[in-house]
A and B are shown apart, each in its own frame.
Chain A
Amino acid sequence: MDALTVHRLHFAFTAVFHYLFPQLTMGLALLLVILKTQALRTGQECYNRAARFWGRIFGINFAMGVVTGIPMEFQFGTNWALFSRASGGVIGQTLAMEGMFSFFLESSFLGAFLFGERRLGPRLHWLSAFLVFLGAWLSGFFIIATNAWMQHPVGYQLLPDGHFALASFWALLLNQWAWWQYMHTMTASVVTASVVMAALGAFYLLTRQHLEYGRMFVAMGVTAGLLASCILIFPTGDVQGRNIAYDQPVTLAAMEGLFTDERGAPLMLVGQPNMSEKKLDNPIYLPRMLSFLTYRRWKAEVKGLDAFPQDTWPDNIPLLYFAYHIMAGLGTIFVAVLALAAFMLWRGRLYDTPLLLWALMLLAPFPYIATTAGWLTAEVGRQPWVVFGLMRTAVGSSVEVSAGNAMFTLIGFAGMYSLLAVLFLFLLYLEVDRGPEAAADEHGAANESGSNPLADD
């Protein structure tokens, strides 16, 4: 394996693993604010207990997100030195702002949220939950603004030495790619958190424990999840798709498996890209749908891969095609399952419909798969560019770091993250097993004994 391939795998592996955690915490932060608001509004203790329970799940995920997130910021330099040197003048802005505006906020108030309930009182405790939410969502924005610049560079100036300088701060922050991509990503994280909440609620109901909380989690998860998964498709996914059609048309062609130009292009539902014969095997499709979705006209022309020089094609079209189709397919399934569950909830029959509870419970891993596939679509779709149209990935990596050194650290990360995954699942199991009712007394006791924030077991 050459050094470039190892550097790419290195970033891909650590990024995919990292994003398993923030996608839950960003969405969950919003749900925690809703729970705390309910507690303030109604004065019912069950909402506070639920917030404490989910706060502890949040804490484990947040810790995992932090420790796997630090390597992401460092890897721009360690593994992508040429890219960093060329583009630091632009994306250094958003990355530095993330540290200054969101990491400090999040880390300062997470402790207050997790351990300060008694000390702060209900209003300040609500505020600490809100500030954690604000920090998490700001963090998401700055990262997405960084990625959006790589997808659709704006507000920059090309210097004589081939580096990029910032030409307009507001163009960078108001990049319309950033805003749509941000809303799409954040809605997806709300789907992950909602589905996980509903799935755990369904698990409690099916195993006949913590029934009161099981019903609360299912109701809240299904409601928030349905809303978010609808927004995920329309308008955010829809606009995101059209952004790709206008700004990265070659990526759209590869995602859809469209090899030749077509008027009234079909939307492929199933099929396998056959790269040697340049066609899709075993296709099942909706005729003319792609033209309509992209240009709002049934007979609009959509450019196929043939319209573009082959050296600008994404370098792994089958992976891109499947990542995109898995994401879109799962997104559709979420809407269907959650809509059915919401209907039964409204009719008051959801809690007594084991089949649907089973479906909700088993849905838990799929948002993670969908978001991972979504990010693969964005990143593989941008290839062969690291900055779309301006800088190729092949000239962005750290030239001084040999394949051997990079392989050493890739294997090290694989080992380290396997250990983290085992620990994470074990600790998560312990929390789920203890359940929300245990949370209250012990939490109170922990605070009673003074300033011992860690003594919560």
Chain B
Amino acid sequence: MKEAHTETLWFCLVAIMIAGYAVLDGFDLGAGIVHLFVARSDAERRSVLASIGPVWDGNEVWLLAGGGLLFFAFPAVYASAFQGFYLPLIIVLWLLILRGIAIEFRNKVSSLVWQPFWDVVFAGASAMLAIFFGAAIGNLVRGVPLDRSGFFFLPLWANLRLMPAAGILDWFTIIVALGSLAALTVHGALWVAMKTAGAVAARAHQAAEMVWWAVLVITALLVIIVPVVQPHVSHRFADAPWGLVFPLAAATGMFGMKLLNGAGRATGAFLASCLYIVGMLTSAAFGLYPYLLPSSTDPAAGLSVYNSAAATYGLTVGLYWFIPAIALVAVYSVFVYRRMV
């Protein structure tokens, strides 16, 4: 196979953007999932919303920027995946719309029906998004029925069986989806525990303690079934054992958040949860490489860094603007998280 250094670099950068999105929007999605339970009164819910108010929109930009970079670096993957996952993606868009207006418009009116309504919309849309994002990752790992045209189309569900990839939702992707829901619930609960005080923080701490067990069970289950569902992953780790640092990072994060949360160290527990999410996503990216979108029916038809990237000139030029741009993003983020939250 030909060398693909620039393409591989962009593969890593896109993976980093997606991991960044998962960690950052992950905590405000998680805060949305738990806020109905950990914040009971209007004042308590306002305190949860206040902790994400100035940042949620910026966090969501990571998704947009990640999508834009995928379009730019791997147009064939962007086109194939967005078309093939048509229905779930559009539903994700509707959920993002509902969630965005729930956060922004909740406090514009004071009424006994207005706020509770948007609170439920905020919680429901956040939970559904966590589930859909998990299912999306499950689909990437399992592979999709790509043929030589480079395209496919999957309905939302068919018979829940794995092969030949009959729908977006099958038993495997449902497990990944539930894993994502559990992980982001804990992530959000730890954020709320870190950023609020009193009863809300105590309940959030408790919620993270409980749901952590679901994270443990599903993570353990995934370690067993992923190599069965996608054998390419085990080959990758066998060929390049250094890649085991990614799952090890995830394991460290997973046990770290339990220990630190148990010790009442909220910031440490939240950072450990970040490590867990990054570890899981980088493990998936490492395990799938060189594929971005593996084919479940014809391995050679999978979309990889070799056959789906934009031409090298464009990718090289992109590095010249990406590096200063991401440095600027770091500057803004420091400003926002230091001064505004």
Contact = CB atoms under 8 A, between A and B. Distances in A.
Q: Bound pair: A and B?
A: yes
Interface in A92-123: 92-93, 95-101, 103-105, 107-112, 115-116, 119-120
B21 to A, nearest CB: 11
Contacts of A105: 328, 332
A115 B340 contact: yes
Nearest to A410: B90
A165 B100 contact: no
B291 interface: no
B61 A104 contact: yes
B65 A103 contact: yes
Most buried by A among B47, B78, B86, B105: B86
B341 interface: yes
Contact of A454 (B106, B310, B322, B333): B106
Nearest to A166: B314
B54 interface: yes
A336 interface: no
Interface stretch (A61-69, A195-203, A298-306): A61-69
A448 to B, nearest CB: 13
A111 B90 contact: no
Contacts of B340: 111-112, 115-116, 119, 451, 453
A116 B61 contact: no
B65 A84 contact: no
A111 B76 contact: no
A67 B332 contact: no
A439 to B, nearest CB: 13
A165 B309 CA distance: 11
B71 A84 contact: yes
Contacts of B49: 454
Contacts of A120: 339
A398 B78 CA distance: 12
Given A70-B93, A77-B71, A115 B325 contact: no
Interface stretch (A231-239, A263-271, A355-363, A399-407): A399-407
Contacts of B188: none
B84 interface: yes
B42 to A, nearest CB: 10
Contact of A111 (B74, B80, B325, B336): B336
A412 interface: yes
Residue picked from A90, A163, A452, most chain B C-beta under 10 Å: A452
B64 interface: yes
B84 A400 contact: yes
Interface in A58-96: 59-60, 63-64, 66-68, 70-71, 73-74, 76-79, 81-82, 84-90, 92-93, 95-96
Contacts of B152: 400
A422 B162 CA distance: 43
A423 interface: yes
Contacts of A408: 87
Interface in B237-289: none
A457 interface: yes
A63 B101 contact: yes
Contacts of B108: 60, 427, 430, 457
Contact of B311 (A68, A77, A89, A96): A89
B47 A104 contact: no
B73 interface: yes
B50 A78 contact: no
A1 interface: no
B329 interface: yes
Contacts, number: 243
Interface centre among B87, B314, B318, B329 (most CB of A within 10 A): B314
Contact of A99 (B50, B68, B104, B314): B68
A455 B151 contact: no
A453 to B, nearest CB: 4
A457 B79 contact: no
Contact of B79 (A66, A82, A452): A82
B313 A166 contact: yes
Contact of A455 (B46, B72, B96, B101): B46
Contacts of A95: 68, 71-72
B65 A68 contact: no
Given A89-B314, A166-B310, A81 B80 contact: yes
A454 B60 CA distance: 18
Interface of B: 46-47, 49-51, 53-55, 57-58, 60-61, 63-65, 67-69, 71-76, 78-84, 86-87, 89-90, 93-94, 96-98, 100-101, 103-110, 150-153, 310-311, 313-314, 317-318, 321-322, 325-326, 328-329, 332-333, 335-336, 339-341
Interface of A: 59-60, 63-64, 66-68, 70-71, 73-74, 76-79, 81-82, 84-90, 92-93, 95-101, 103-105, 107-112, 115-116, 119-120, 157, 159, 163, 165-167, 169, 398-401, 405, 408-409, 412, 416, 420, 423, 427, 430, 451-457
Given A59-B104, A68-B97, A115-B54, 13 more contacts: A67-B100, A74-B82, A74-B89, A76-B78, A85-B78, A85-B80, A96-B65, A97-B325, A98-B68, A104-B58, A108-B332, A111-B57, A452-B46
29 contacts: A63-B105, A66-B57, A66-B100, A68-B97, A70-B93, A71-B93, A74-B67, A76-B78, A77-B78, A81-B82, A84-B82, A92-B68, A92-B78, A92-B314, A93-B318, A97-B321, A99-B61, A103-B64, A119-B340, A166-B317, A169-B317, A401-B83, A401-B153, A405-B87, A409-B87, A427-B105, A453-B53, A453-B340, A456-B107
Q: Which 3 A-B pairs have the closest CB atoms?
A: A88-B75, A77-B82, A92-B72
